[in-house]
Amino acid sequence: MHDATPLIATIVGGLVLAFIFGAIANRLRLPVLAGYLVAGVVAGPFTPGYVADAGIAQELADLGVILLMFGVGLHFSLKDLLSVKAISIPGAAVQMGVATGLGMLLGWGLGWPLTQGFVFGLALSVASTVVLLRAMEERRLLDSDRGRIAVGWLIVEDLAMVLALVLLPAIGGFLGSEKGGAAPAMGELFETVAWTVGKVVVFVALMLIVGKRVIPWTLQAVSATGSRELFRLAVLAMALGVAFGAAHLFDVSFELGAFFAGMMMGESKLSQQAAEETLPLRDAFAVLFFVSIGMLFNPHILVEHPWVVLAACLIIIVGKSAAAFVIVRAFGRPVKTALTIATSLAQIGEFSFILAALGVSVGLISAQARDVILAAAIVSILVNPLLFVALDRWIAKHDADAPDQHPAAVGGHTVLVGFGRVGRRVFAELREAGARVLVIETDEDAVRTLRDSGEADVVIGNAAAALVLAEANLSSARALIVAVPDPFEAGQVVRAARQLRDDLPIVARAHSQECMDHLAGLGASEVIYGEQELAHSLFEAARGDRSPVATSGH
């Protein structure tokens, strides 16, 4: 038998341990991210037993971040990015400044050198891409105003960190490092800044001028071959190729390169299919990202310097979030938007680790400060899902108390969960049939027109929550239609609804036979399987029972 290579051992060990501890966390009603992090601690060098290769794990995690940012770019147009620039650019700059200042203040209190306090504070100021985007995707907020602001904020932080990673050695020398190296002249520092900014500008311009035309054209040409395998390969090649080229030719981060690749591919009509093709790999490598974080964690820091770790956590969870909340409110945005942005940024991740490692390598921060950053990151990532749960409950209660929402008065209505592509079509059919409809959706922007026009009653929130379903007045409803695409989310809604009312007709959508069985087992009265219905319609059309034109688009 061949010995497992470090790559295979890391992938297998990471995924298996993540599954085991993720399942345990889910069983204990804890965020599954907690299980992934614990899996990383178990596989790390600071605990006995199996030890995975940390270097390989980090590279696998980088792949996950690349694919994740590529997926975000697919749904994020340049227009969306520019629409939030007025708040994202100054907001991110001020918030990073506040967090960096708080970190420097903590460093001053601990007697650290000025440069160490600066790098420490800067590491606490930038949020994790993976954590933020997973939270947004779970709540389907990426296409909302809140999601666009968060992503725009993230891009500004990304650009700031790209600049910081390039300039940090030079700035450290200018301020005077502990190694006593010669400080560069101000002219050299300015030249470094100008060169770095220039390369970023050239990359962005190249993507907007050339990439915007070449990437969609290539995708269309590959699609014309009829090979799904080749199409999938083309999507991955362009995503990873652009990210790699951006990093090595323009010194732009992998994340930013992948985001622009996705945004340019989003100009193609095949962007939705491209997103679906990358989803499985994105989820798998995102799991390895959290495992890699856990591997870096040294539990001894919690015993040796607990108060320093606590202070760092307070800066991340309280100080940085409070600054973001005040900034968003200062721009006249609603409290719900401000709370969402503040909660999204109440954690740190991959850029913080890169910055801390660079700081140690050039002698700007100590190993102790690096371990504090890692510990604070672990704690903040564990706490962040809990903060989102609290936020969801606050939003559900707030929307339920809103003066323009009185779903309790509704009766004899059909409840529609999900207002995406399928949900909108179902809603149109129901309205044409004269039915009264109540829509449950997490994205307020998606149903704002419905609420403003009075076409339908609207409840904002996660339909799997008992409070949200109660607001929909299921006891008087004629039927419940679950149109959300995710089978696990749909299953939670079906189960919660069935617990509230045994005789309620529940219709759900499915993408496979296994999904059909899953939803039926949880209590769905009828499950519509897309491919099955399509096959039936094609058979009827071919037999002459139905016009092929009449079935198009359904």
- Could you read off the pLDDT of 326-385 as tens digits, one per residue? 999 999 888 888 999 999 999 987 788 888 887 887 778 888 898 899 899 888 988 998
pLDDT, position 534? 67
> Does 470 lie in the same domain as 369?
no
Distance CA 497, CA 505 (A): 10
What pLDDT does residue 66 have?
Answer: 84
Whether residues 229 and 268 fall in one domain: yes
If one compares 229 and 98, the residue with the highest pLDDT of the two is 98
Last residue of a domain, one of 388, 422, 446: 388
- Whether 273 and 168 map to the same domain: the answer is yes
Report the run of H or E that residue 386 belongs to, with start and end: helix 367-400
Is 180 a residue whose pLDDT tops 50?
no
CA distance 134 to 68: 9
Q: Is 422 found in the same domain as 373?
A: no
Indicate whether 215 belongs to any domain. Answer: yes
Do 436 and 375 share a domain, yes or no? no
Residue 185 has pLDDT above 70, yes or no: no
H or E element in which residue 279 lies: helix 271-296
In total, how many domains does the chain have? Answer: 2
pLDDT band at 109 (very low <50, low <70, confident <90, very high): very high
pLDDT for 99 beyond 90:
yes
Which neighbouring-strand residues pair with 479? 414
Partners of residue 437 on adjacent β-strands = 414
pLDDT of 518: 82
Write out the two tokens for 133: 């985007």
Q: Residue 302: which of 366, 356, 372, 352 has the closest Cα?
A: 372
Instruction: Say yes or no to pLDDT of 292 above 60.
Output: yes
- For residue 13, is it within any domain? yes
Position 397 in a domain: no
Give the CATH number of the domain where residue 528 resides.
Answer: 3.40.50.720
> Is residue 381 included in any domain, yes or no?
yes
382 lies in the same domain as 413: no
Q: Are residues 378 and 416 in the same domain?
A: no
Same domain as 468, residue 343: no
Which of 320, 353, 388 is at the close of a domain? 388
Domain identity same for 444 and 359: no
Is residue 456 assigned to a domain?
A: yes
For the chain, counts of helices (H) and of strands (E): 26, 6
- Mean pLDDT (whole number) for 59-68: 82
What is the predicted pLDDT for the residue at 262? Answer: 86
Average pLDDT, the chain: 81
- Domain membership flag for residue 534: yes
Among the candidates 338, 354, 388, a domain finishes at: 388
- Residue 80 sits in a domain whose CATH number is 1.20.1530.20
This prediction has a pTM of: 0.71
Query: Are residues 417 and 380 located together in one domain of the fold?
Result: no
Which pLDDT does position 175 carry in this prediction?
54
CB 299 within 8 A of CB 324: no
Residue 275 domain-assigned (yes or no) = yes
> Which of these ranges, 30-39, 93-102, 127-136, 162-171, has the smallest mean pLDDT?
162-171
Rg (CA), the chain: 25
Same domain, 373 and 508: no
Mean pLDDT, rounded, for 470-491: 83
User: For residues 75 and 131, which has the higher predicted lDDT (pLDDT)?
Assistant: 131
Out of 69-78, 227-236, 467-476, 542-551, least confident range: 542-551
> In this model, does residue 318 exceed pLDDT 90?
yes
Residues 207 and 324 both lie in one domain: yes
Give mean pLDDT, residues 16-35. Answer: 85
244 lies in some domain: yes
Find the domain containing 457 and state its range: 407-551
Give the residue, 72 or 320, on which the prediction is more confident.
320
pLDDT at 189: 65
